[in-house]
Each structure stands twice: as structure tokens, then as C-alpha cells.
A and B are shown apart, each in its own frame.
Chain A
Amino acid sequence: MLKQVVSYGESPSKVPLYLNLQGWIVYRESECGYSETVFDSEKMLNAYEKAINKYEADLYYDMGSYSAMFPSRCLGSNDFYLSDEKYSLNFKDISYITSKEQYLKLAENPYDFLWNDFYVEKFKNLNGASAEQTIAEYLKLTGEHYERSQELRNRLYTEKGAHFLSDMPVYQPAFDYLFQYLVGMKGISLDMRRNKQELLMALESFENLFNGFMDKMSPPLDKETMPFQSQLCLLGQTLTNRTQFEEFIWKHLKKKIDTYVENDYKFYFMVEGACGPLMDYLSYIPDGCCALHVETDSLDTLIEKFGDKFTYVGGMPVQVLGSASLDECRAYTNQVLEKYGHNGNFIFSTDKGIVFESDAKPDNLKLVCDLVNNFKP
């Protein structure tokens, strides 16, 4: 059904429902607190299984790969804030690159820079005598978690037909990697002007390293059973004007889209924040291969501009899900389904991930699942 909704001329028997469940809505299902759960693989997966059983959908984002904190604790990172009260996890403002010389080192030898300048600074347990024990423990923890999550994923697929986007290789342009994990938003905004050439060289090197690795390590997914063969995630466009977008992001993104087209891939494209300069480049994507999920631009604007080019994902603002009464939520959901649900190219979802308590009342979310799952297109 998910495959049909991204294929021209095919009409799925229902409107697929996609949920990105994170934070409060999941971990309130755990019998222990938030921090105790995200530091424990088994407790985390138990909480996800309960949430997935309660909120039935066709596609979920993941089973906690984003919020799993046991690898970070094992490595000795302090780059995050956890709030048990808010069930939230936030990045600290980071800046591991502060000079032209560091960009040049990253450009010339990314392994050397990442290990000797970045990882040993960020992950305190990689320093000195503890490094060996840390790496052994890290491989053990992540290996065990992988086995456990695969077992649960297979069971949920067999019993419910549930798919997970996290099973599909994710592509982010080097620009997004760099500002999210190494330089910070403020740093990259300044460096697009003050260290432009060095930043461009570092991006080229990073793109080759990470996305080359991703291509090597991710065998092509089966087109018969998997709704998408890849996913794109973009946030960096919110930091750039049109010229910067073209120079720092689009040239890499375009190459990746070209490889999808060459291989006849279907892909999911999450645009965090506003499309901004990306809006003028979306027409480059061929018709009928992309499920487009935008966080802040209206679906009506996109449909008016691009028509049947895309499968559209979204329709439900978390603001409504988190604040409306049951009757208001029912009326809103029905309105969305009637408006977009009859064209065969719509996946119902929230505009952004359900993270905070204010993002969804559990009864509203349950109602939305029931309404979408029973709607006849």
C-alpha cells in the first residue's frame, strides 16, 4: 500500500498513516523514568513496543535510534541535556571547528581530523587507558541493541505489517552533518562568509567520506517489499539564501537525487523547517518517485505548485493534536482526509515528530489512528 501511494496510477485501499513517535508519547509507557529508559536498550524497546501497539500505523520513523543514549554514555559524551520532567533530549550548542586550519585538516585527512581532533575531545572515554575498554563495550552494546531491535522489528512487521523509515538508508548532505555535529548553526552561518573556500573543501571531503560509506554499507533495498529505497533529510536550507543553498547544499543533493533516478528508487524526503530556497529546486525531482514531507510550508501551496509530481506527507499539525478537544480533533482529521485522501498520493502524518507532551494528547492520537485506518479513499 505504501508502495502504491508513491506510484503513478495506483490507488491504495487506504490512506497510509506515518507516525514519528519520540519522547513523551513513547517513554510515558515505560515504568521507569525517561533517563533510566533511554540508557537501557531493553527498556527502550519495551516502551516502543507498547506505543506501537497502542497507536497503529503503517509506517513509523524508528524504535528509538534517535533517543538511544547508552552509546553516548559509554563514549563519555556531555553534549546533551536530558530532562526527565519534559521527557526531552536536546543538543548543547557545539563548536568543534573554529579555524581555517581545522577545515583544511578535515578536507585533507578527514579520518585524522575526526579521530584526533573531534572524537577524542567530544568522547572523554576515548582518551588514555580507557579507550580500549570503551570501544569493546561500545561494540558489545550496539551489537546487542541491533540484534534486539531487529527481532522486535521483524515481529512487528510480521504481526502488523509495520515498516520503519530507519530501515532505509538516510542521506543528509555534508552541510547538514557538519553544522549539526561539528560546527553548530552559528558557526556554519559565520563560516559560509569568513571561511568560505575552506568550508567548501571540507564539505567535499565529508560528502565523499560519509555518503560514500553509506553507499558502500547499504545494499540496495528490495523494491518489491520496501516502500522506499532511501530517505533524504534536510535542515540546512533554513540557514542559507538561494546562492548559498546552491553552492553549499544543492550540488551534493542533486548528485544524490540523480543516483536515485538512475536506479529507479522511490524515496522519502523530510524537509525540516521551511523549504526556503529549496522550493525553487524541487521541480528537478522527477514525477512519481518521491514522498515529500514538509514541516512548515502548507500542503496546499505545494500541491498548487507541483500537482501530482509528489506523494504528499503530513496534514496534521502537532499543535492541533496537542491542544484540540476530541470533537475538534475528529473534525480536523476528517477534513484533512476528505481534502487530500481521495487522490491516491497522500500519506497522513503530523507536520513534525511527536516529541513533547504538548505535541499530542494520547486520546487524540488514538482517535486519529482509528479515523485514518478506517477511512475509505
Chain B
Amino acid sequence: MENEIYPEKLAEILRNIGVEDKDVEATEDLLTFSFIAHL
């Protein structure tokens, strides 16, 4: 899919912005959970 972001691109973005490898999965979880409730 053209706009596919998960999983590879998202992990790459998080690493690029300074998230350490060990924290990538937890940050993905945090974003997945936080985004749902934004209007």
C-alpha cells in the first residue's frame, strides 16, 4: 500500500528522531494508544 507506515517505516522514523532501539517497541505502543482518542 502506498501510504503504509507500519511496521518498518515507523520504526525507522522513531530511530531517526532519537528513540533508542530498546525503546522503539514501547514508543510504538504509546503512539498507537495515544492516537486513537484524538479527534
Contacts and interface: CB of A to CB of B under 8 A. Distances in A.
B36 A181 contact: yes
B38 A120 contact: no
A181 B3 contact: no
Contacts of A135: 13-14, 17, 31
Nearest to A74: B38
Interface in B1-17: 1, 3-7, 9-10, 13-14, 16-17
Contact of B6 (A112, A181, A214): A112
Interface residues of B, number: 25
A72 B38 contact: yes
A60 interface: no
B5 A136 contact: no
A72 B35 CA distance: 9
B3 A71 contact: no
A71 B17 contact: no
A125 B30 CA distance: 18
Chain B interface, >50% SS class? helix
B34 A131 contact: no
B5 A131 contact: yes
A375 to B, nearest CB: 36
Contacts of B9: 131
Nearest to A177: B36
Interface stretch (A75-83, A308-316, A351-359): A75-83
Given A114-B32, A131-B13, A181 B37 contact: yes
A111 B13 CA distance: 16
Given A119-B5, A131-B9, A132-B13, A75 B33 contact: no
B7 to A, nearest CB: 7
B36 to A, nearest CB: 5
17 contacts: A77-B39, A79-B39, A89-B39, A111-B6, A111-B7, A112-B7, A114-B36, A116-B6, A119-B5, A123-B35, A132-B16, A177-B36, A181-B36, A209-B32, A210-B36, A213-B33, A214-B33
What 9 A-B pairs come out closest when comparing CB atoms? A115-B6, A80-B39, A136-B17, A120-B3, A132-B13, A72-B38, A116-B4, A213-B33, A71-B38
